[in-house]
Amino acid sequence: MVSKHGFITVNGCLHGEFSTLLPLVSEETKLLILLGDLQLLSTKQDLSTCAIPYKYTYKGDIQKISDFHRILKNHPRDELAQKFNNIDCVLGIGGNHENMGLLEKLPFGGFVTENFFYMGQCNVIKYKGMKIAGFSGIYKQNDVYSKREYGFEQMVLGDYSWWKRNKVSSYHVRFFEILPLLLYDSEDEVDFVLSHDWPQNVFHNKDPNLENKLFKIKPFFKPDVQSGKLGSPLYDLVMKNLKPSNWFSAHLHIKYQTTIEFENGDSTDFMALDKLVPRRLNEGISQFELPSEVDEDQKFNDNDGTVNEECNLAKDNLLLEANSSNSNFGDCGIQLDEEFIKIQFWCFQNKHKIEGLIDINSFNFKEQVDQIQSLYNAEKKTIKLQAPLLKPFFSQNPFDYTEIYMKSNLKSNF
């Protein structure tokens, strides 16, 4: 295929198989989207923070579990690493098979490598004129209101068995982290939403393919759909609020497409993608052209301003130390969405008020959101961001970026 503007390639569950994925990716791909189960493992120690079935751990042989170590080494003669690094931008979310010891250090997103931006727990970014929202993990009702803990903090406190007890719950979605998307209101349309597991409304959509394809191939889904165990009702609210043009998911290891229609006449095209299985590799990826209206020369203003001089100086020093010879280092055209950051900032500043409104015994998320929405509506015109960080940057130490993000955009510390 030849494209005037280049391609977007979307992959379902990666499971660390970069060597299987990248040969399938067009040389003209500008944006590669990874929908989770990234398994970004580079050392045997990483296994202690990653939930993988024992039979797939290969007795701790990292080279059999994941190709990510090759991406990190970036040897000039390694064709796999070179092809990955030649893609303009790689965008990823987390799933339920992740090196959480790495990803938890970037809760608000950030670069894992120079061209690989992880979306974090929840985020909205802009790329070449497109607006992309995404969130990591999977939905589990028992943890949706749980307070987020971080393994690195517990290790400092001497709780060395924390990961063994919590590496599963660490990738469960939290209501508070998704809340900014539930309050999000922008005149600009959201082009893509990325989630690892599926919105629940997909299973209740009036589509003949639900019976003819999905339940025919995966008949064991049906009891879980009927009992409400499959899919996330929380994501339904995100979809209804954002009404994105496209929604991509993975997790259930099947390719499935449908259209969700809304009362106002809008609709969302939903696509789920498979994992990379030799017999059906084409089910694990989707490739399509970049929209023709995309401005290839779009310039983003790194609106750091002059107010937050401490953060600017720290960031500039990091960039100089990281790569003094490459002016494009850690810059693949991504801009953070200022409207999302405003809402995220408001949520953090009003966290105690929000927690006071939440009934942790109720899973009627719409009622919970409606109460918080009233509080937010009363205050949103007064939200002022001073010199937000809108252009993410790469740092060898993920904590450095996270610290600057929190100081600049949330006026908070870890």
Instruction: Give how far Cα 233 sits from Cα of 20, 149, 202, 375, Å.
Output: 33, 24, 10, 23
**Which 8-state DSSP code applies to residue 159?**
-
Rounded Cα gap, residues 97 and 167, in angstroms: 10
Residues 135-168: tens digit of each pLDDT: 999 999 999 999 999 999 998 888 889 999 999 9
- CA gap 121, 124 in Å, rounded: 11
Residue 293 has a pLDDT of 58
Question: Is 334 part of any domain?
Answer: no
Residues 6+ apart with CB under 8 A from 70: 18, 19, 78, 80, 81
* Count of other CB atoms within 10 angstroms of residue 7: 19
Inside any domain, residue 174:
yes
CA distance linking residue 41 with residue 65, whole number of Å: 8
> φ, ψ for residue 130 (rounded to 5)?
-100, 150
Instruction: Tell whether 344 is covered by a domain.
Output: no
Q: Which residues contact 335 (CB under 8 A, 6 or more apart)?
A: 125, 126, 127, 300, 390, 391
Torsion of CA 390, 98, 284, 275, to 10 degrees: -170
Q: Which residues contact 23 (CB under 8 A, 6 or more apart)?
A: none
Query: Does 361 reside within a domain?
Result: no
Q: What is the CATH number of the domain that holds 19?
A: 3.60.21
Residue 389, domain member (yes or no):
no
pTM of the model: 0.92
CA-CA-CA-CA dihedral for 374, 147, 200, 241, to nearest 10: 30
**Cβ atoms 270, 290 nearer than 8 A:** no
| 335 falls within a domain | no
Find how far residue 408's CA is from the centre of its chain. Answer: 21
Please report, for residues 211, 218, 389, the alpha-carbon distance to residue 108 in angstroms, rounded to integers and kept in the order given: 38, 35, 12
* Structure token digits, residue 312: 């600017």
pLDDT (0 to 100) of residue 164: 94
DSSP 3-state assignment of 166? helix
Pairing of strands 334-336, 122-127: antiparallel
In a domain, 330, yes or no: no
* Count: domains in the chain: 1
Per-residue model confidence (pLDDT) at position 300: 40
| Per-block mean pLDDT, blocks of 10 residues, the chain (414 long) | 80 98 96 98 95 92 95 95 96 98 97 97 96 98 96 89 95 98 93 98 89 89 91 97 98 96 95 96 95 54 46 58 42 91 97 96 96 97 93 93 96 84
In a domain? residue 62:
yes
Spatial separation of the C-alpha atoms in residues 143 and 151, rounded to whole Å:
16
Residues in the chain: 414
Domain containing residue 159 = 7-286
Q: Give the tokens for residue 412.
A: 């908070």
Note the pLDDT of residue 200.
96
